[in-house]
Structures are given as C-alpha cells and as structure tokens.
Chains A and B, each alone.
Chain A
Amino acid sequence: MEVSFMSYILLAIILFSMGIMGVISRKNIFIIYMSLELMLNSINLILVTLSKHFGNMDGQIIAMMVIAIAAAEAAVFLSLIVSLYRLKHSINIDDYNTLKQKGTL
C-alpha cells in the first residue's frame, strides 16, 4: 500500500507551523532565518507531492526554482547579517529597532 497523499500534506503543514513558531518565538536572527527556510522547504514538499499526484512535472520545476531563489536569498541575507552585526554587535532581532517611535509627538 502506498503512503497516502494526506500524510505528506500533514507533514508539510506541521513543518510550516513550526517555521512560523520559530519566527515568532525566537530572537536569534540565525534561527529566524532557518525558520524561514524551513517554511520554504515545507512548501517545496507540498509542490513535489502535488506534482506526483497530478503526474505533472511543473510542481518539481517550481520547487527547483524555489531552491534557487532560496540560495540567492541566503547570500543576501547572510551578508545583511554580517553588515548588521558590524553595526550593532548583536544578533538579537529586538536590538534592530532604528525605526521605533521614540518619545511622544
């Protein structure tokens, strides 16, 4: 018996939720980044599952492009972290609050 379609979907949904939980609950900017990647991966899983389900290659192609974009994102994101770290000497996302409203009007 084949593994059912819904078990893949369920796994993808759980991973996606864990990604969101990571983004919201953690302050470490690296972990937030990895949580975002986790969400991308869970979407990829859904795409590949659907590709198999419909017998159509398009899903895999899109998944591959998502991986390519994620790689590009990784490069920019990590260089941004380096730049930010030089500025603030911190990897706590709560310290990056230059746009905060300070004082009263």
Chain B
Amino acid sequence: MSDTIFLILALLALFGAGTMITVSNTVHSALGFIVTILALSGLYALLSASFLFMVQIIVYAGAVIALLLFVIMFLNIQSSHTPKEPNKYLFMLISAIVMLPIDYLLFRAFYTMTDIENFSITSKDFGTVKMLGLELFRNWLLPFEAISLLLLVSLVGAVVMARKKERS
C-alpha cells in the first residue's frame, strides 16, 4: 500500500519539479512547484512526520508560494518580459552531467551506511505534535528563539527593501 503511495507521490514530485524548471511561463512554473511541495508533504506523512506534513502545506504551499505568486502578479510580468532562453536544455544537460559525480558520491555515502534495512518506527507517537513540541522546548529552545528573532529581522528587512524610494 505505502509502496504505491510513495511511487505516486514521488512521480508527482518529479513531474512538478520538471515542469518548474522547464516551462517558460513563470506562473506555470510556480504551479509546478506547488505540486512538488504538496507531494513532498505527502512523503513527510508517509515518513510519520505528521507535524511537518502540516507545516509544509501551511508554510510552503500556503505562505511562500502564495507570496511568490502575489509578487509575480504585483509586478505584472508579461510573457514579453520573460527572458529568452534558447540554450536552456543544453545547459541542463551539461549541468546534469557535471552533477553526476556528486550524485554518485552522495548515493554511495548513504548506501554504505550501516543497517539500512532497519527502517521501522520504534514508537507509536513518533513524529506527533506532542513529541515534537517536547523535543523542541527541551533541547532546542535557544535555536528556536534565535529563529524567531531571525524572522523578525527579515520582516523588517523586507519592508525596508521593498519600500519605494522617495523622489528627491
């Protein structure tokens, strides 16, 4: 059962990513990305990370991509504005070839890890909100607070950057 679900979700993710990097229309590309995001959130669920499954949908699909689409609309980018990219498939091929050794190395690194067959859930409530919260507020409190500060700073920064310069 879960094999089938994994297969479907994986194919969806790959399809979304492929759409995203190939199409020339920006909005289509963003839609492709949403597909990937959603497929990944499904995979998180399969990996018994139920909280992350929600966060992924709410933050990524709900906030980040929505913001992205909003900006695209806001700037009112016509298809004539999108850059001409006659060689993009050639570049993709070249970069894919160059990536191969890195991919191989990564794959090999994980493949030679010990006991890769041991892939089972130890406890029933693994990945629930409660477990995650306990872990987060016991051992990860300081990084958590630091990230909240970072979000504040980026908020201020975003406002300052995007502000219209006063004509003098």
Q: Is the CB of B33 within 8 A of A67?
A: no
Within 8 A of B (CB), among A55-76: 55, 57-58, 60-61, 63-65, 67-76
Within 8 A of A (CB), among B10-58: 10, 13-14, 17-18, 20-21, 24, 26, 29-30, 33, 36-37, 40, 43-44, 46-49, 51-52, 55-56
Indicate which residue in B14, B95, B136 contacts A21 across the interface (CB closer than 8 Å): B95
Write out the residue numbers on chain A whose beta carbons fall within 8 Å of the beta carbon of B107. 9-10, 13
Give chain B nearest CB distance to A93 CB in angstroms: 8
Count chain A residues whose beta carbon lies closer than 8 angstroms to a beta carbon of B. Answer: 70
Q: Is the CB of B17 within 8 A of A38?
A: yes
Within 8 A of A (CB), among B146-165: 147, 150-151, 153-155, 157-159, 161-162, 164
Write out the residue numbers on chain A whose beta carbons fall within 8 Å of the beta carbon of B117. 5
Given contacts A44-B40, A67-B55, contact A17 B96 (CB under 8 A): yes
Bound complex: CA of A53 vs CA of B136, how far in Å?
Answer: 19
- Total A-B pairs, Cβ < 8 A: 230
Within 8 A of B (CB), among A9-40: 9-11, 13-15, 17-22, 24-28, 30-31, 33-35, 37-38
Write out the residue numbers on chain B whose beta carbons fall within 8 Å of the beta carbon of A6. 110-111, 116
Interface of A is mostly: helix
Q: Is the CB of A69 within 8 A of B68?
A: no
Interface membership of A101, Cβ < 8 A: no
Interface of B is mostly: helix
Q: Is the CB of B63 within 8 A of A71?
A: yes
Interface residues on B, range: 35 or more
Bound complex: CA of A79 vs CA of B116, how far in Å?
Answer: 43
Write out the residue numbers on chain A whose beta carbons fall within 8 Å of the beta carbon of B154. 72-73, 75-76
Bound complex: CA of A43 vs CA of B56, how far in Å?
Answer: 13
Bound complex: CA of A6 vs CA of B120, how far in Å?
Answer: 14
Indicate which residue in B55, B63, B131 contacts A57 across the interface (CB closer than 8 Å): B131
Write out the residue numbers on chain B whose beta carbons fall within 8 Å of the beta carbon of A33. 68
Indicate which residue in A2, A19, A26 contacts B119 across the interface (CB closer than 8 Å): A2
Write out the residue numbers on chain B whose beta carbons fall within 8 Å of the beta carbon of A8. 43, 47
Sorted from nearest, which 4 A-B pairs have the closest CB atoms?
A: A25-B91, A79-B162, A92-B83, A72-B154
Q: Which residues of A contact B (CB under 8 A)?
A: 1-11, 13-15, 17-22, 24-28, 30-31, 33-35, 37-38, 41, 44-45, 48-49, 51-53, 55, 57-58, 60-61, 63-65, 67-76, 78-83, 85-86, 90-92, 94
